Amino acid sequence: MTCTGQGLCAELLPELIDLDEWGSPILKDRAVPDQLRTHARRAVAVCPRLALHSGRGRP
């Protein structure tokens, strides 16, 4: 599905996700540090459009 640009993921994972001027997420880094893995999984899980992926399938 397509991101609707409401920014929930960036609120949950500001360390790795910025929003562009339209509210679409921009990854700062594709590598997720170990200490942020739980937060990253949560951001993937709560995306209402199923637009985020962890790279290893959905959590």
* CA 16 from centroid of its chain's CA atoms: 8
The answer to whether residue 16 forms part of the interface with ligand SF4 (CB under 6 A) is: no
Q: How far apart are CB 58 and ligand SF4 at their closest, in Å?
A: 13
* Type of residue at 54: S
Neighbours of 29 (CB within 10 A): 10
Minimum separation from the CB atom of position 47 to ligand SF4 (A): 3
39 lines the binding site for ligand SF4 (CB under 6 A): no
Site residues, ligand SF4 (CB under 6 A) = 3-9, 25, 47-49, 51-52
